[in-house]
Structure 1
Amino acid sequence: MINKTMNLIDNYYKWLKEKTILTKIKDWIEITTPYIDRHNDYIQIYIKKSKDSFILTDDGYIINDLLLSGIKLDSPKRKELLKITLNGFGVMSNEKSNELYVNANMDDFPLKKHNLVHAMLAINDMFYAAPSHVANLFLEDVKSWMDSNDIRYTENINFKGKSGFDRKFDFVIPKSKIFPERLIKVVNDSNKNTTDSLIMDWIDTKEIRTEEPKAFVIINDVNKKIKQNSLDAFTHYGMQTIPWSNKENFKETFAA
């Protein structure tokens, strides 16, 4: 079994070496690795000799690609997640250029190269691919926007519905002289299951409120299209949908 395992490891190293391509670009060497990013492109890093050490960098690719895709990394929670991930791999970041980089010497070069590549993959997956992270970060974006516009709210509120079950709303804005109580749900992906669940929460809750509230659904439409079936369903049950790209039109409705 040990011999078979060693053969597998040898084959892996052989594959890694054969699939790694080096290209000279002025004072830098571009290393094309066999690892694939979310665009199905090969991950590339760049290396340059500096006296007795080496600088390895992604030239800002990973973070700039996320920013171009609408994934912001400027909130405290996202900055902390990024910091924790980078620290775990021993990778540094340049806030001005957004590049990820490490310094290496002849002895630790293999480890530093490995860590940089896998930090790039981990950050890409964490902020873009993982649904749970994206949903939580979108909720944080909504909260940050409400705070910046002085919108009064209570977050993460449970109401006991007519059925006796607890019904959770992400934000509740109290009644004012102009507007009734506003119950807000935040949705990262408007699939059928989510839509049905939100509608049931709303139906079960509004019947036991002393004064009929208004329901709003804030939906993430960054780099995705909101499903028309969901929009129609929310409208049918009296829930007003707010695409995230259209949020500025609702500041007065929430702030009043």
Structure 2
Amino acid sequence: MNSLESKVVIVTGALGGIGGATARLLADGGAHVVASDIVDTGCGDLVGELSARGPKATFLTADIAREDQARALVEHAVERFGRLDGAFNNAGIPQHGKPLVDLTSDEFSTVLRINALGVFHCLKHQIPAMGDGGSIVNTSSGLGVLAMPDAADYIASKHAVCGLTRAAAVEAAPAGIRVNAVLPGIVGTPMVEAVYGSLDSPELLDGARSLHLLGRLCEPDEVGHAVRWLLSDEASFVTGALIPVEGGVTAGRRLAPS
């Protein structure tokens, strides 16, 4: 039997590029997907597609930066399917694109609130709901272990996700719950498009070529496959890991042509 067959998995940020791609891959693997996002535009189409691919799917609008809504999402999954086996805490927002000294406290707090506090809220309520055994994957970033100019708000939030992942892995291990994070590079998603203006923009493509050893943008499915593996029983001895899915950004820089 497929190790995801009939498992109940929450996916936040499910209407985005990485979240949607991962939700589809999980449904293909036979999982019941509890999809969520801060908006509901297009949720009916997503649920219909997931239900056609897998056993059952549902959607709940939730702002995970609010603890009551993160808790309600977990409760919805348990009420709907009777248990919770896994979660992909993926919801997030991009940086404001300003130097650190130009960021306002509100701008900095907004990014931390969604990207880090939201993950904390999810972990806080998912771990007890899983009982004895489960798997959680958080979305950090290559910038969760590196830095670049004009992204201090995002960098701080994604470093925090790495720390939360390892702290949760330590505390959840006695219950048989694994907690890991994926660290994507520049992925061809609407969020990246919002930062760069177009997935075909010379700035974006040149940045991807120079940063990624593989010399191209990452596709959402490529992150999704890593997440699906971490959520599956095939990764049964992997916890507290920060898995780079960034084409080699954290390994080094490409050599210039000779």
* TM-score, normalised with respect to structure 2: 0.27
More strand by share: 1
More helix by share: 2
Structure exhibiting the larger radius of gyration computed from Cα positions: 1
* Greater relative contact order structure (CA < 8 Å, 6+ sep): 2
* TM-score, normalised with respect to structure 1: 0.27
